[in-house]
A and B are shown apart, each in its own frame.
Chain A
Amino acid sequence: MKVPALSVSRPVLLYGTVVTVLIGILMLLVAKTRTVDFETHNEIVNLLRQLKQLDAEWNADVLRSKMGLNIDYDPVASPLPVIEGLEVALAERTRKLDETSTRVRTELNKMLDAHRELIARKTATIEQFKSQNSILRNSLHYLPVAADDLGSGAISAALPAAKRAELETAASGLLSATMTYLHIADAARRERVVALGRALSEGSAQYPADVRERINIYLAHVSTVLRQDDIGKQVLAELAAVPTANSLDTLTDTYAAEHEQLLTGQQRYRGLLIGFSTLLLLLLAYYGWRLVKSYRLLNRTNGDLRQANRLLKESQLQLVQSEKMSALGQMVAGIAHEINTPLAFVKGTLDVVKENLALFDGLAQSSHQVALWLRGSTSDKSVMVRNFDRVEKMAKEAVEEKVIEETTRLLQNGTRGIDQISEIVINLKNFSRLDRARSVEYDVREGLESTIVIAKNVLKNKIVIEREFDEIPAVICAPSQINQVFLNLITNAAQAIASEGRITLRTMMYDKETIRIEVEDDGAGIPPEVLPKIFDPFFTTKEIGKGTGMGLSISYKIIQEHGGRILVDSEPGLGTTFSVLLPLQPSRQPDADEADDWLEAA
């Protein structure tokens, strides 16, 4: 059981696997084609552009603050939260990209981290810038005021004019040197500032305390300017050195390259998808073509088969017809013989009756002459005596020989012979049931009796028919067909019996809805090797020309049509029993066409 089951499922399994693999490849290709997230990429490009712009604006704002164009630090402070927000958004988008490429994750995240570090550095530097710039601007703002105060202000008013002029020169000289240094920052000018400052500081001892304090404040602011200028340069150099723009460019390039690669990949997969789809379509077309072809072949084969079937049916009908003719021929021969015997007997009887009638003719003649004489119509006494003797003699013969009785008996015998012929004819009529009724109530036992009569020729006198009939109800069937089956079975049984023998016919109930008819003979039996073939069409054990081999085959078919079965049980040397199981009601309506064909043939 297992092996055929496997062999059945193997192609199915194979087809299933192939189809699954093909669909899998298709889905993979479709998925691969969709992997490029344009939306996210656009967002990233947008974010990077914004970041770059902000970065540039930030730089510009720092410079504006440096140059005093920005008079508050809000513009320098405000980009930071925006930049932070954009960086968070960028990291989020990059995480979204991660799902499609692990290579991007490591590389871009590293770059993003680096960029964040740069921004932190830049932020710290800008904070430094703001602090130093405020101080520098304040001191720068104050320097001219302080110099002015020292030179011409109220502080130095009490000093002698010479001292005052000296102080003014020193203060403005330092101011000038400082401004020049700030303008052209070289070592020589710085040294000059330092030298002038030192000179002013050293010379301050000669001035009163309040003037000295102002000189110190002035000098403190000059040194603050120098210090903050140094810090400022350093900070701005640092700011310029923080490669945020480069980093953003690299990020942009990397994203673009990654996107390009993804696009290339997608392009490749799209190409593959198109190729694969084409392949699938071709495959589909091929199978479609194959299907159409097979369908055509099937159609043609179907037509051929139908044709063959029709021819076969025709030849089968012819065969059935010839079988019928053959059976009919046999039957006619038998029946002719059957009828011939009583016919000859009736003829003989009539011949005797005819002979007997001559006596009565003579008697009637002589009696007539005697009667004429007695009436006196004739006087010839001698004629009367002769006639009287003859009457006496013939009457005596008729009485003594019981001619009337004999004749009557003969006539009765003749009638019986005719009755016999009548019976045969009636049975013949019964048997053939030319009414062709298909579904009528039918007494099986009556049918068997008729069949026995019809088969008398085959049975001859050597075979004894025994009847063991149980009470069975009438069945609904086509009687002429069932009779044909019985005739066939009885004929076969008779033919199985070589010399003398016995055929036992039985009827019984098989179950509630089925009757069983048995035809048992004590003939030769059927060899086991032949047994399976006996219902095959054209199988015959008889000499060529004697049987068509269709008898049992047709019987089988007829019973099958009635929803019944024929069973055979044979013991070589002991005899054979054929059993017909027949339902009281045909379980299925025989197929109209076919049944008609069979009926016609039968």
Chain B
Amino acid sequence: MWSVVRAPSWVPRLGVAVAWSSIAVTTTGLVAAQDREPIRPIPIETKLDSRKVSLGEKLFHDRRLSRDNTIACASCHDLTKGGTDRLPFSIGVGGAKGTINAPTVFNAAFNFRQFWDGRASSLEEQATIPIHDPIEMGSNWKDVVSKLGGDKVLRASFNEIYPDGVQPKNIQDAIATFERSLTTPNSRFDRYLRGNKSALTGEELRGYELFKNYGCVACHQGVNVGGNMFQRFGVMDDYLSKRGAPTTKDLGRYNVTKNETDKFVFKVPSLRNVALTVPYFHDGSAGTLEEAVTVMIRFQLGRPVPEADKALIVKFLHTLTGEYKGAPL
């Protein structure tokens, strides 16, 4: 009996594999899979047009993108605060309060889709949405182009890079290119992954093992430790009914697809620099990392986890903080 239970985890799934008989399963493939880590380090270097990055950085901090010249991208995605504003909900034009927690802009380039509900499939597409959102920037391309076009210096920068000058698509391109430069490589954990076994303490390493064993890694994996799939919030228990006061934003991906099965489904957020991006979840309901881990274990894993293990996992999460422009965040 137990021999069946202890058999490698792929054995029960062979039944399904029959339907995919064209795929050959080789022993070497299995060995390789077992040797590999589910998390991969962030590339140290990005190859981007430095002129576009520089222009995008200016635009990212340019408050003229908003209706009343008060809000820049950086207002809610503060690069000194882990790419967030550390508020449950951001403040938009005219003091309007947002309805969803602002995710970090760092490593957003590694996310397979943008926004909690994944409604933008690219950074370019993403950039246009807050500009038009009445609560966020409350502006439109026409005004933005006319305001930016009136700036001689900025216009010259555009003309230098783009033959057609200040255009919505060029603004999007510049901002998106800058955002692609916002990666945080060389975290302690990445250094560990790259072979530096002393980069992590014994506790942190133990925390990583628990992170994998308890199943956190089932969703938080890949280069961005998340950000490459959707998952229902509340797999093993109903989170939202326990929390109370549901909003339309809580419907998550359903707001995009209108599929009943997409209700309460969100993009799995990246855990990169997670120690810096308090508060947590789309509703900003978890004020500390410990709290967030507790909620995740309870509702997503649905299994008992000793407090000591939880603390070790939190310790591990702190090793995911990387560097930006060569300096720790």
Contacts and interface: CB of A to CB of B under 8 A. Distances in A.
Q: Determine if chain A interacts with chain B.
A: yes
Interface of A: 59-60, 63-64, 66-74, 76-78, 80-81, 84, 124, 127-128, 130-131, 134-135, 137-138, 140-142, 144, 146-147, 172, 175-176, 179-180, 182-185, 214, 217, 220-221, 224, 232-233, 236-237, 240
B39 interface: yes
A557 to B, nearest CB: 82
A88 B261 CA distance: 29
B303 A217 contact: yes
Nearest to B110: A74
A236 B15 CA distance: 12
B243 interface: no
Given A124-B259, A217-B302, A134 B229 contact: yes
Contacts of A147: 5
A179 B12 CA distance: 7
B303 A146 contact: yes
B274 to A, nearest CB: 17
Nearest to A237: B19
A74 B222 contact: yes
Contacts of A217: 302-304
B140 interface: no
B221 interface: yes
B2 A220 contact: no
Given A134-B231, A142-B215, A172 B223 contact: no
Contacts of B9: 68, 137, 140-141
A331 to B, nearest CB: 101
Nearest to A74: B222
B25 interface: yes
A128 B304 CA distance: 26
B25 A67 contact: yes
A176 B261 CA distance: 30
Given A66-B16, A67-B10, A217-B303, A74 B29 contact: no
A373 B21 CA distance: 193
B228 A73 contact: yes
Contacts of B303: 142, 146, 217, 221
Contacts of A137: 9, 215, 218
A147 B2 CA distance: 11
Given A74-B228, A221-B303, 13 more contacts: A69-B33, A72-B228, A78-B112, A81-B121, A137-B218, A141-B9, A147-B5, A175-B5, A179-B4, A185-B15, A214-B304, A220-B302, A224-B302
A72 B40 contact: yes
B222 A73 contact: yes
B36 interface: yes
Given A184-B15, A240-B19, A172 B218 contact: no
Nearest to A85: B122
Contacts of B228: 72-74, 76-78, 130
A46 to B, nearest CB: 23
A272 B257 CA distance: 55
B301 A172 contact: no
Contacts of A237: 19
Contacts of B25: 67, 69
Contact of A221 (B14, B16, B221, B302): B302
The 4 closest A-B pairs by CB, nearest first: A138-B215, A72-B221, A134-B218, A74-B222
Interface in B6-31: 6, 9-17, 19-20, 23, 25, 29-30
Contacts of B257: 124
Contacts of B17: 63, 66-67
A594 B115 CA distance: 107
Nearest to A120: B257
A72 B222 contact: yes
Nearest to A68: B10
A271 to B, nearest CB: 45
Contact of A233 (B16, B218, B265): B16
B236 interface: yes
B85 to A, nearest CB: 27
B246 interface: no
Interface in B112-140: 112, 121-122
A86 to B, nearest CB: 14
A473 B131 CA distance: 107
Nearest to A142: B303
B43 interface: no
Given A183-B11, A220-B302, A84 B121 contact: yes
Contacts of A60: 23
Most buried by A among B6, B16, B232: B16
Nearest to A149: B304
B38 interface: yes
Given A69-B33, A217-B302, A220-B236, A182 B229 contact: no
B303 to A, nearest CB: 6
27 contacts: A59-B20, A63-B23, A64-B29, A67-B25, A69-B33, A71-B37, A72-B38, A72-B223, A72-B228, A73-B221, A73-B222, A74-B223, A81-B121, A84-B121, A134-B218, A134-B229, A135-B218, A142-B303, A144-B5, A182-B12, A217-B302, A217-B303, A217-B304, A221-B236, A224-B235, A233-B16, A240-B19
Contacts of B235: 135, 224
A501 B5 CA distance: 162
Contacts of B6: 144
Contacts of B215: 134, 137-138, 141-142
Contacts of A185: 15
A179 B10 CA distance: 11
Contacts of B2: 172
A138 B213 CA distance: 9
A131 B231 contact: yes
A138 B219 CA distance: 10
Contacts of A224: 235-236, 302
A67 B221 contact: no
B230 interface: yes
B1 interface: yes
Contacts of B36: 71
A140 B303 CA distance: 12
Contact of A77 (B19, B33, B229): B229
A69 B30 contact: yes
Contacts of A135: 218, 231, 235
Contacts of B229: 73, 76-77, 127, 130-131, 134
B176 to A, nearest CB: 12
B230 A71 contact: no
Most buried by A among B9, B37, B265: B9
B121 A80 contact: yes
A64 B16 CA distance: 12
A67 B13 contact: yes
Nearest to A178: B12
B304 A72 contact: no
Nearest to A214: B304
B19 to A, nearest CB: 6
Contacts of A68: 9-10, 13, 33
A592 B56 CA distance: 93
Contacts of B230: 127, 130-131
Given A72-B38, A183-B15, A220-B236, A134 B304 contact: no
A140 B323 CA distance: 37
